[in-house]
Amino acid sequence: MAKTGFFHHIGTFLLFAASILLLITTISSPVINSIGVLEVKLTNSTNGHNSVASFGTFGYCIRHASGNKDYCTHDHIGYNPAKIIEGADKTDFNTASTDTTKALTRVMVLHPVACGLAFIAFLLAAGSGLIGAVGAALVTAVAWIVTVVVMCTDFVAFGIIKRHIDRDGSGSRAHFSTAMWTLVAAMICLFLAFFIVLLTCCSSRVHRQSHVSKHADAGYANGTTTTKRRFWQRRSQY
């Protein structure tokens, strides 16, 4: 029973870690300028004035290395990263790539959804009881599915942007940044937490049934079992 409790605590911790990791992805640019899903180092024609385009969940930022004030968009769902790169670095995108990346950025609204589900699963797992553990496992499964979906769309959308930039020959370079890797780490944490919480829940139930069965067998062996009396056999307590 002690081992079961220990592993359940590990599962609970993984759910909390997944919540924090998904929160970091959610508050990427433009909420926090220095955190991005994809970052593009722009040449701006000269190496001495390089700036960085940081694409996040609800928009993007242009960070200037020269010390000028960063430019960030307002928070909103969906934007057009291909058009932004075209305007900043003259990289050519075809219509299909432009439309696809624009549409997929709308799916990034699932970042905070997954974060909320992971935190709910953490609260359920932190609460004692079989029902809470079962609920935590179910919510964790949903959170994991949502995280996998949005992670795949992020890789597809920004993979298209990255491929065009790297092949353009302008000198700009793109790479997946912090918010993408925290998303991947959260997906792994949720995957492990689901199985740990589910297995500890099942083992706890089996242990409880075994414990009840042992007590029942002990009662039969000692001859202390009680039989249910009919209502006419019960004496009045008064």
Token pair belonging to 126? 């932190």
SS3 197: helix
- Distance (Å, whole) CA 24 – CA 32: 9
Query: Sheet harboring 51-55: ordered strands across?
Result: 71-72, 60-64, 51-55, 38-42, 173-176
Say if CB 177 and CB 39 are below 8 A apart: yes
Tokens linked to 161: 């942007």
pLDDT at 5: 65
* DSSP 8-state secondary structure symbol assigned to residue 173: E
Residue 76, pLDDT above cutoff 80: yes
pTM of the model: 0.81
Q: Report whether 113 contacts 19 (CB < 8 A).
A: no
pLDDT band with cut points at 50, 70 and 90 for residue 214: very low
* Inter-residue contact 78 to 106 (CB < 8 Å): yes
Q: State how far the Cα of 26 lies from the Cα of 36, in Å rounded to an integer.
A: 10
**How many other C-beta atoms lie within 10 A of the C-beta of residue 226?**
6
> pLDDT averaged over the chain?
82
Is a pLDDT exceeding 60 seen at residue 201?
yes
Domains and CATH numbers, the chain: 2-206 (1.20.140.150)
DSSP state of 230: P
Least confident of 8-22, 55-69, 171-185: 55-69
Query: What percent of the chain is helix, strand and coil (3-state, nearest 5)?
Result: 65, 10, 25
Q: Give the percent of the chain with pLDDT over 90.
A: 53
Question: Do 155 and 147 form a contact (C-beta atoms < 8 A)?
Answer: no
Task: Give the pLDDT band of residue 146 (cuts 50, 70, 90).
Answer: very high
Cα angle for residues 105, 182, 168 (degrees, 5° grid): 50
Q: Are 51 and 64 in contact (CB under 8 A)?
A: yes
